[in-house]
Amino acid sequence: MARRVAGWACAVCHTAASAVVDHCHEHGYVRAPLCQSCNTLERPDHLYSNDVRVASRYQRLFDTDAADWLRHWHRCPGCRARTTLPLPHLAAWTAHIACRSLRPTHRGPSGSTRKPCGVLRVSWTGSQNAPRSCMLTVAVERCPSGEHRVLARVSYRDAVQRFGTWLAETAPAVAAAAGPDRTDDLPARVRPVIADTSGEEQALF
């Protein structure tokens, strides 16, 4: 498999050779081949199974390279149909984007510039399969003065709604392709892969 994947360019950066086949852990759908760097970049920074540290790489995922990453995540029909992201990514988006204005700042060493306080962390109770009971908690850790902890508590449904609005503004083409009617043509049952023994190997995608 590694040799066959290496024949493809990374579906996100379009420059490096692919090393892995990325898939959605929530819905099980294969997205596309990625290089090792992009695959590592998009992996949520889990502290626990329901806890994510919002690292600096989210600046690329949701700011500078947002359109490319949103297009990649929505290659999963499950995420595309629900117009959302896998729960860990949605949690990180909520902390990094939806709660950005709530993050406090402190004066830097020079006293003239203010820097974002501490480290953002978001945890959740429940799961996306029970949206009424799923709640995201955004907090600031490692505040120099110890002043801050919980910034916001956002319900899963509210987070999804906010994400949908932001998606339409940030990547309108991705948003236009999303929605519950976009999976009507999916097969009801999966079929086994039959190897082509006639000569040329089958393409992955």
User: What confidence tens digit (pLDDT) does each residue in 56-109 have?
Assistant: 889 999 999 999 999 999 999 999 999 999 999 999 999 999 998 888 887 766
For residue 191, being part of any structural domain is answered with: no
Element of type H or E holding 40: helix 36-42
For residue 205, being part of any structural domain is answered with: no
Share of the chain above pLDDT 70, in %: 82
For residue 4, being part of any structural domain is answered with: no
Lowest mean per-residue pLDDT among 23-32, 117-126, 129-138, 146-155:
146-155
What is the predicted pLDDT for the residue at 173? Answer: 95
Residue 124 and residue 50 in contact, taking contact as beta carbons nearer than 8 Å: yes
For residue 14, being part of any structural domain is answered with: no
For residue 6, being part of any structural domain is answered with: no
The C-alpha atoms of residue 195 and residue 178 are separated, in whole angstroms, by: 32
For residue 78, being part of any structural domain is answered with: yes
Boundaries of domain holding 55: 44-105+115-178
What is the predicted pLDDT for the residue at 131? Answer: 84
Lowest mean per-residue pLDDT among 57-61, 71-75, 120-124, 148-152:
148-152
- Dihedral (CA of 35, 36, 37, 43) sign: positive
Cα R_g (the chain), whole angstroms: 19
pLDDT at 132 > cutoff 70: yes
For residue 142, being part of any structural domain is answered with: yes
Residue 175 and residue 163 in contact, taking contact as beta carbons nearer than 8 Å: no
Q: Indicate the pTM of the whole model.
A: 0.83
Domain count across the chain: 1
What is the predicted pLDDT for the residue at 1? Answer: 47
Lowest mean per-residue pLDDT among 54-63, 111-120, 135-144, 192-201:
192-201
For residue 199, being part of any structural domain is answered with: no
